[in-house]
Structure 1
Amino acid sequence: MATDGPVVQVRGEAYREVPPELARFAVTATARDRDREATLTRLAERAAAVRVLLDGSGPTVARRETGDLRVRPETRRSGERVVAWHGSVTTTVTVTDFTALGELMLRLADQDQVEVAGPWWELRPDSPAHREARHAAIGDALLRAREYAEALGARVTALIELADAGPADRPMFARAAFAGGGAGGGAPELELDPQPQTVQAAVQARFTISAPVLD
């Protein structure tokens, strides 16, 4: 694109740390038995117990997704003779109420042959924090252009080009694992500290400036 007069090119950046909006964790129910049908029956019962607890959590659970169902035979090293069957099913749970998160995770971990891992802290894909960071990056680019122009005794006159140049945001996470054993009794209290999320944005911008004063 042809332009009249001098041009300044700058990079604008913004970096923010904001509280997370979502927490995800995984609940895995397992079963093992020499008999395949017994393994499947136990696995179904334990998965159902997990569902009952999640059903009773009310609005604490915003979303849950069941996947990663595995059933596999255990064989002897020398041959294909099956000595046991292993089964597992994992449910990913999304929570927005962090005050009840620790209690819910420990209640799930207190179930027989259930493992809980997480949480992973995130922002919503449409979080206002992303928009605010992009706006701040544009403001930073304009400020830098004006500073360069001022140093030359000039002023910014027009925007020629603006392009996004920021890296993708990376969710922060903390991982903990709890293996349930059905010990009975009330689950202990667990307080979790939500990890701040890093939001970054960067732009490349080109501006025309008035004639510099170089005297």
Structure 2
Amino acid sequence: MIRAALPLAFAGALSLAAALPAVAQQQPAPRILVTGEGEASLKPDLAMVSLSVMREAESARQAMDANNEAMAAVIAAMKEAGIADRDLQTAGIQIHPRYESRSYDDGRQTSEIVAYQVTNTLSVRVREIDRVGEVLDRAVTLGVNQGGGIAFGNDDPSAAITEARKAAVADALAKARTLAEAAGVALGPVVEINEQNSGPSPMPFKARAEAMGAAPVEAGENTYTVQVNMSFAIGGE
């Protein structure tokens, strides 16, 4: 029984081995691959402002106390200006020693701690763009001496992203039709589609800060970009 089974098993292995090259030689169906891009712009409706207070003293404790006092005044002023608690967030507190190099008559050189620096960074979300300059001016008056970075955004950019998606797909369809026509083939159905999108990039748009004495601020426009990669069959039904 065992001897009789061996030729059958060997014959089955040969049949499987003969079938493998046929599978390996199968080629994917021809397709048209294109990339489409679309974008849509929105005027910003909020701004993220980064404000930092740095204080220096002989000890870390003294530097921290001075920094706490200054930052507390800045936070109180932001709230008085109508900034909600949810729009105020501490972004980081750093404590660093400051060193100075000293040289001696015998040629020795040392590096000694001469002071400590404490930096507290506050992120402020400003929901009225025209008040950004006023917020910056008030913060500097109260002791902010570092930072000042501004990022303009949109509370709900979904409508702009949807428009960018539609434009990207239309762009990809137009490219695919042109390629199919040029190649003399029929454009089949969509086989695969995937999307990549990027956040807003600033574009020129006039804006002004209306408060007297406030820093001039240009809000710009936020442009949302979507890229789609689409695969079409050739000569589909």
- TM-score scaled by structure 1? 0.74
Closer/same/farther in 2, CA of residues 9 and 34 from structure 1, 3 Å limit:
closer
Counterpart residue type for residue 18 of structure 1: L
Counterpart residue type for residue 50 of structure 1: V
Q: Please report how far the alpha carbon of residue 138 of structure 1 lies from its aligned counterpart in structure 2 after TM superposition.
A: 1.1
Moved more, 66-75 or 39-48: 66-75
Work out the CA distance in 1 between the residues paired with 2:81 and 2:124.
11
Give per-residue Cα distances to partners, 1:126-148, cap 9 Å, x unaligned: 53322321222112212222333
Contact 1:60 1:96 in 2 (8 A): no
Specify the alignment match of 1:169 in structure 2. 199
Specify the alignment match of 1:48 in structure 2. 72
Give per-residue Cα distances to partners, 1:101-138, cap 9 Å, x unaligned: 11111111111353341212234585332232122211
Specify the alignment match of 1:197 in structure 2. 222
Q: Which runs of 5+ in 1 are unaligned?
A: 175-185
Q: Please report how far the alpha carbon of residue 195 of structure 1 lies from its aligned counterpart in structure 2 after TM superposition.
A: 1.8
Q: Please report how far the alpha carbon of residue 81 of structure 1 lies from its aligned counterpart in structure 2 after TM superposition.
A: 4.7
Counting helix residues as a fraction of each chain, which structure ranks higher? 2
Is 1:64 the equivalent of 2:92?
no
Contact 2:41 2:160 in 1 (8 A): no
Q: Which runs of 5+ in 2 are unaligned?
A: 1-26, 103-109, 205-210
Query: 1:14 is matched with which residue: 38, 44, 50?
Result: 38
Is 1:103 the equivalent of 2:134?
yes
RMSD across aligned C-alpha pairs, in angstroms? 3.2
Q: Please report how far the alpha carbon of residue 200 of structure 1 lies from its aligned counterpart in structure 2 after TM superposition.
A: 1.7
Counterpart residue type for residue 217 of structure 2: L
Q: Please report how far the alpha carbon of residue 7 of structure 1 lies from its aligned counterpart in structure 2 after TM superposition.
A: 3.8
Closer/same/farther in 2, CA of residues 61 and 138 from structure 1, 3 Å limit:
farther
Structure showing greater radius of gyration is 2
Counterpart residue type for residue 27 of structure 1: L
Counterpart residue type for residue 203 of structure 1: V
**What is the percentage of aligned positions where both structures have the same residue?**
22
Give per-residue Cα distances to partners, 1:145-179, cap 9 Å, x unaligned: 23334456665441112122x463354499xxxxx
Specify the alignment match of 1:29 in structure 2. 53
